Structure 1
Amino acid sequence: MTSCALLETRRASTHDIPLDQRLSFWEQYNASILVGLKCSSYSNSGLVASQSNLELEGLSIALVKGNEHVVERDCSMIRSIPKESVFVSLVQVSRSFFYQGGGCTLLEPGELVIYRTDKPYLFGFSGNMRQYIFDIPQDLFQARCLERLDAPLKIGSETRLQRLLIRTLCDRTQGFFERPANQDAGGFEDDAFELLANIISGQTGERRVSAHSASYLLAAKRVIAEQLGDPGLSCEWVAAAVGISVRHLARLFALEGSSPGRYIGDKRMELAHRLLSSPQASGLDISEVAYRHGFSSQAHFARSFKARYGCTPSEARNAAGSQ
């Protein structure tokens, strides 16, 4: 696979399936790629639904569209098709209702519900629907988003900050779905986890960031992501691009326990490590990897890489090649 290749998008639709076979077809497809569930349709035209699926390194994403219907994952399904994931469901169209653990959650378009797949649940849609489902292994969700999830977590869009973060997640996901370039997958995954962590922490009260600050911080991170390969990228340059002072930029990153310089260095190192650990690294010179990711000195890159990952860039590349 070349660096400009697109990730494979798996797709399924009931449109060309005979009416009496649509529910079983939909259940079989979901069991094979998303989760085992039972589906019921209460539309006169039967179930009309489509789904697109992307598999990334740490998470999977599904875009589901359909008419009014209900899906249920009961105890028998959990036993026969076990799955220990956390689903983040972002409902974009249609009101919906969600049951798990004896409680009912009503969702409006633009709201999230986060729930575990190893507990029974029922999800219903009252009209034509569209939703993104982020499928995250429980241990990864615990490490990157929320340490403990015992009950469903609904996240509304009552505040300006939550609306901004959820809209950014929607836009970023939609853009990636339109062109899921292999070279962009790691960056998208990092952005998705970071946005989800901020959305969740804002709901649970673990972090309080104003909408004004969040918008500047998101803009700064987007500028950094676009310019990571430029050795001249600096805090001053980022601040000027966003339209704030260097001191203000530093205060924004301090809200997350970091600094602009550290964030830039961390992102450069993560991208370089991801490349060196991939099959594409076999023909690359280490100096090329260093300069491609904004390091002006190969020696400095090698020292920093070993300090962080416990191996040299060459050792990481060779290990990827042997695999």
Structure 2
Amino acid sequence: MDKQQRIISIAKQTIETESKAIANLANLVDEEFAGAANYIFESKGRVIITGIGKSANIATKIVATLNSTGTPSIFMHAADAIHGDLGTIQEFDSVICISKSGNTPEIKVLVPLIKSIGNKLIAITGNRDSFLGQQADFVLNAYVEKEACPNNLAPTASTTAQLVIGDALAMCLLDLHGFSSSDFARFHPGGSLGKKLYLRVSNLTALNEKPEVSPDTDLKKVIVEISEKMLGVTAVVENGNIVGIITDGDLRRMLTRTDNFAGLTAKDIMTKNPKRISNNAMAVEAMEMMDANGITQILAEENGKYCGVVHIHNLTKEGII
């Protein structure tokens, strides 16, 4: 086997090993898991998540996921906890401790301290019979048969399993809290994902000029309007209502059909009943309509009245695309 094929083989084997470990976790979810989720949901405090080594790295990601889905959480490093950070834990907080073996020296020191404070302890561990497993009020079983590491040493499948258990817990709490897409948007206002959930067409039309001509506007003025507003399009409007649209493409096609432009007006070259969208619709809906119809601009209206134009460049700039 050459070097390239060996690399491919090892990568596939790693993915297969970890996917099997994850699939088996579904068999380990039980009433104790449900009890832990319900206890966190009903508690008045935060979730404090602790661990050491690679488990600490997983803990920080689970904290981020819980915070972003409506469950206030804080990371506390297990080593730092026994050197002063134990004060992070408040009276009504739930504590989750993550450890594959459940028997590391730091865990053996930390767990009795947590128990002495009186907080409920939830373990995410692959060893229910460990010190941590025996001391915990709830055990979320993250057992894996073997690591992806050929020496069965480097945390690989086990840390993936911990992460998946954390995600499963977060999704259960999300459901219990009735956490909606609008809630998610409140916690992600700056990212493109959040913008897909809160940015509206009106936010985009307000950024653009508002190209507009009447059905009887002569061709020269139509061209000037499209050029000055720099959106490659103008709406044809009568009594505030959209009756047509003229794009750069319409002008080019008109030039191939006739040599005599005298007397031509907007109504002679416009596309009637163009695609349009509510000014109150979500920006992502405008993107979907453009994509479905193979267009780069779409007209917006409110209560039947013309409001402006959304251009594909607006969506790109805002990170929607």
Give the TM-score normalised by the residue count of structure 1.
0.22
Q: Which has the larger radius of gyration?
A: 2
Give the TM-score normalised by the residue count of structure 2.
0.22
